[in-house]
Structure 1
Amino acid sequence: MNDLLGRLRGLLLDTGYTIDGVRERLGDVAATALSREETVPALRATAEGDPLATLIRLWWLGAPVEARGMPAGLPVEELAAAGLVTVEGGRVTSTVHLQPWETDGSGGSGGPVGPVGPGGYVVSDRKVRPGDPALRPDHVVGAGGASANLAQLASRRPAGRALDIGTGCGVQVLHLAGRAEEITATDVNPRALELSRLSWALSGITGVDARLGSLFDPVEDDRFDLIVANPPFVISPAGRFTYRESGFHADDFCRDLVRRAPRHLAPGGTCHLLANWLHVDGEDWRDRVGGWLAGTGCDGWVVQRDVQDPAEYVELWLRDAAEQGTPRHRELYDDWFGWFEAANVTGIGFGWITLNDSGSLDPVVRVEEYGRPVELPVGEYVDEVLGSITTAHRLTDAELLGSRLVVAEGVLEERVGPPGAEDPARIVLRQTGGLRRSAAVGTVEAALAGVCDGDYPLDPLLAAIAELTGEDHDDLRTKAPAALRPLIAEGFFHISTG
């Protein structure tokens, strides 16, 4: 099988069946329509039957193609014997979805498990579209937006041992392969491990330790430097599909994943996961999710990126399984929506959770809502974000006044006010990179942003500002730590270590 997949990989690359190759061959209109699961423009764009068009129709669109039109060298009979295609009446049909996947070099320079470049591939069950047969319970979904979000979030630091929980089609391993010395991947679905092994082989990745089981059960005694998870986080009254629903009650699966992760982190290790959580009437969602992290002993950062009301949520996942318009659609919708109503659910949050075993006896947890666009990949600076959050919390007022602050690179100042006014009505500091936050500040913080370059401690700078403005130095010393601590936590100022 490995020899077959190696030859198939070579043919795919030689034919141009890569992300860039497919985009160029389809054109902008067809490629954009395909991102909405509309296949007609793509089918029209690939009607000529050239080798790349044939591969797109076979592997991505799932359309039958004429056997006589197969690209030269494609081992159709061997692929059929391996169960990857069927041949009937002179037509070849894929039994899987095989898509090129871009790692953008996030894997690093290569490691023992093998390098991954722009030629990564992901094997999953065929995409389900309106009118297709119902999904099988053990359906293995392909890589998509959530996969990309998790890959963009994970820290880029090299890792000795990495763990991918709920590997599915194996896509996260493609991103981990270059920067982790050892990779373990788990899934509760045997078919997921079967297809993920195909993904890794087609991507030139070897040495992955694949284990069957739920949550951390397969790695009970192991610890890792990096843990990632795109788990079955969908909240529903019944676990019908293993790729998205755990069968746990409500959001208990994500809660348990967070609470169990720390015992499997090596000192200094980091865990990144995607999650959904409930908004319940009369309860602050921040308390709910923050409570998951309480007592873990880890520093944590929770970001809610989106919220849907119960109706939107049910409709999203019924569309996901192509169940809109089916005979059971109304029944499924009514049961699911009624279940939310009975639980007083007002919304469902989508977001990411990061844990870091810093070894501190005073762990810090920040829970926030932040839906604005951010610079990608977040993994390039996520360690700095965690460092800023913990530094701002742990510095005493005296330590902060004695620190040398530096304005973060890319921070701009905006002043708003009537033309000709002596004083602005509003001063805003704005980040041009990273999380791209903005913060309204007072004149003292703005003045500090203009002079903090790491050369002088904060206290003498406050004394100089007091002398220039006529304000009381002691009053500024008292107020400054409370005003600056949030700006440090959000990355507008850093503490100089030079």
Structure 2
Amino acid sequence: MSTQSLPTPDAGRTSRLRDALHAAAFTADGLLDLLGAPAYAALARSETVPALRATRGDSPLETLVRLFLLQAAVPYAQARAALPVEDCMADGWLVQQGEEVRASVDVRPYSGPEGQDWWIVSDLGCAVGGAGGIVAGVTEVTGVTGVDRSQLVLGVGGASTTLAGITIRTPVARALDLGTGSGIQALHAAQHATQVTATDVNPRALGFARLTLALSGAPQADLREGSLFEPVGEDEAFDLIVSNPPFVISPGPRLTYRDGGMGGDDLCRTLVQKAAGHLTDGGYLQLLANWQHIEGEDWRERLASWVPAGCDAWIVQREVQDVTQYAELWLRDAGDHRGDPAEYAARYDAWLDEFEARKTRAVGFGWITLRKSGADRPSVVAEEWPHPVEQPLGTSVQAHFERQDFLRGTDDAALLAARFRLADEVLQEQVGLPGAEDPEHVVLRQNRGMRRATQVDTVGAGFAGVCDGTLAAGRILDAIAQLLGEDPVQLRDRTPASIRLLVEQGFLEPVPEPTAAG
């Protein structure tokens, strides 16, 4: 059976298949229990030997792991003990080869944000692991032929889980998953959006997204074929747009799931610039992106120039690679390192020629969140943050924009009249010589969200420590001035900038004023 032909599930038979997966504990938790942490982690590195060793028995769960994750053939009778085999063969999930059956697609258990048991369906060889030779592995491991390698559809990876984790999950009417792939983001969006539209330039991806939604028991999305916003009407607007686009900066289009076909980082720039026309007021665009670090240009200023008028933006650079590291990463992704050395060298050279022509010295990776605020003075924050963060981060992303609204609409007088509370799980660290009367440095550190740290002076530390939402900021400063013997007027004049920084970074949260009863 060619993998060009995807399963065409019947609703009733799909329900029975889902029940069988549940009954066998073919879930994210079930896999961890069966395989153990080392073998489970090895799968993410495309290493299957530990998992094969852990599934030598004939239990239903071991059978399903070998079938759907490891692409091993199993005896027909063994498969029948774990699955409604006739249903699976009728719909195309399984194909018979003599006395054995094989899976026609990868099915990977995936845990939803509230512990839901979901399954992500993708091409054979593409549900396990990340970039390390996926394309080469499709034929080498499974022997399946008939696949247009450029049209492969990947399953769960680090990028897709990162995007799912940073996405704001408030209920919305309409959500758009642009470049849906195997449907992971559409599956998440279906939990909090009344209507989900999913697009992809690859028609096979739309087929896999349909399978992922059906097998996971989610409502079907409105699936549309096309690039970027082409499948969306000019007057269509969404409350949320999410995208894990083909953002790789490459010498030319080769693999649809990663190469967008535009030069440099033009695809990500175009997506950002056109998004405002398809967002409702207050709507969000959230995407992962790669961007060029061009000689003589500040990457922050360059990306800030992408942001459409009337939109706030938060751009976070998580990683930077020099051009040689970047080229090697994606050459390995295509399996080129396993082929002819001369061809590998020629392709490597082509990547470096492309970067040299564009004066690209490095490539940044991170996320961009855009909000259609309509503000005359938009907030555009571009920062580098390679440190660990707390996932899921969606509530922290939303809080960032809410804080920007507060700061933009609050002058210094109103700021001193406002009340604040210290955010949860903020700790104070003091650094200094043993026995010294005063510390050399005082640092506030978050244990939640972005997990930031910021240095403060004695006034800042004292102010933050007192903020419990009961006293106005100005009254707290007056008390600190009296304690330190300072002029309260001067302290009020010089402190608002420090308060704004603590609010912007999430150390202090504004406390809403109580509304009048009745």
TM-score between both structures, scaled by the size of structure 2: 0.90
1:261 to 259, 275, 283: 275
**Paired residue type of 1:491:** G
- For 1:460 and 1:10, locate their aligned partners in 2 and report how far apart those are by CA, in whole Å: 62
1:242 to 253, 256, 262: 256
CA distances 1:377-405 after superposition (whole Å, capped 9, x unpaired): 10133211221234334422222222223
| Residue 296 in structure 1 maps to residue 309 in structure 2 | yes
Q: Which moved more, 1:130-139 or 1:204-213?
A: 130-139
1:22-33 alignment, distance < 5 Å: 22-33=31-42
Structure 2, unaligned stretches of length 5 or more? 1-8, 126-133, 140-146, 514-518
Secondary structure at the counterpart of residue 336 of structure 2: coil
1:170 to 183, 186, 189: 183
| Residue 122 in structure 1 maps to residue 136 in structure 2 | no
- For 1:457 and 1:289, locate their aligned partners in 2 and report how far apart those are by CA, in whole Å: 38
**Structure 2 partner of 1:377:** 392
- 8 Å contact from structure 1 (residues 51, 71) kept in 2: no
- For 1:492 and 1:439, locate their aligned partners in 2 and report how far apart those are by CA, in whole Å: 9
After TM superposition, give the deviation of residue 78 of structure 1 in Å: 4.7
- Total equivalences in the alignment: 486
TM-score between both structures, scaled by the size of structure 1: 0.93
**Structure 2 partner of 1:64:** 73
After TM superposition, give the deviation of residue 139 of structure 1 in Å: 0.8
- For 2:106 and 2:220, locate their aligned partners in 1 and report how far apart those are by CA, in whole Å: 24
Change (3 A) 1:382 1:224: same
**Paired residue type of 2:212:** S
CA distances 1:265-290 after superposition (whole Å, capped 9, x unpaired): 11221121111111111111101111
2:205 to 185, 192, 213: 192
**Structure 2 partner of 1:283:** 297
- For 1:245 and 1:80, locate their aligned partners in 2 and report how far apart those are by CA, in whole Å: 34
1:180 to 184, 193, 215: 193
Secondary structure at the counterpart of residue 449 of structure 1: helix
Secondary structure at the counterpart of residue 137 of structure 1: helix
After TM superposition, give the deviation of residue 135 of structure 1 in Å: 6.3
CA distances 1:166-225 after superposition (whole Å, capped 9, x unpaired): 110011122112211111111111010011111111011224111111111212221111
- For 1:387 and 1:325, locate their aligned partners in 2 and report how far apart those are by CA, in whole Å: 49
- For 2:319 and 2:416, locate their aligned partners in 1 and report how far apart those are by CA, in whole Å: 37
**Paired residue type of 2:195:** E
Secondary structure at the counterpart of residue 239 of structure 1: coil
2:285 to 268, 271, 274: 271
- For 1:494 and 1:132, locate their aligned partners in 2 and report how far apart those are by CA, in whole Å: 50
Secondary structure at the counterpart of residue 70 of structure 1: helix
**Structure 1 partner of 2:4:** none
| Residue 348 in structure 1 maps to residue 363 in structure 2 | yes
**Paired residue type of 1:226:** L
Query: Quick one: percent identity of the two aligned structures?
Result: 48
CA distances 1:298-332 after superposition (whole Å, capped 9, x unpaired): 11111111111111111211222222221232222
- 8 Å contact from structure 1 (residues 135, 321) kept in 2: no
**Structure 1 partner of 2:433:** 418
**Structure 1 partner of 2:152:** 139
After TM superposition, give the deviation of residue 130 of structure 1 in Å: 5.0
| Residue 368 in structure 1 maps to residue 392 in structure 2 | no
- 8 Å contact from structure 1 (residues 160, 180) kept in 2: yes
Q: Which moved more, 1:305-314 or 1:445-454?
A: 445-454
| Residue 316 in structure 1 maps to residue 325 in structure 2 | no
2:463 to 448, 466, 489: 448
**Structure 1 partner of 2:131:** none
- 8 Å contact from structure 2 (residues 154, 181) kept in 1: yes
- 8 Å contact from structure 1 (residues 187, 212) kept in 2: yes
After TM superposition, give the deviation of residue 75 of structure 1 in Å: 4.2
Secondary structure at the counterpart of residue 468 of structure 2: coil
1:78-93 alignment, distance < 5 Å: 78-93=87-102
Q: Which moved more, 1:274-283 or 1:398-407?
A: 398-407
Change (3 A) 1:403 1:131: closer
Alignment RMSD: 1.8
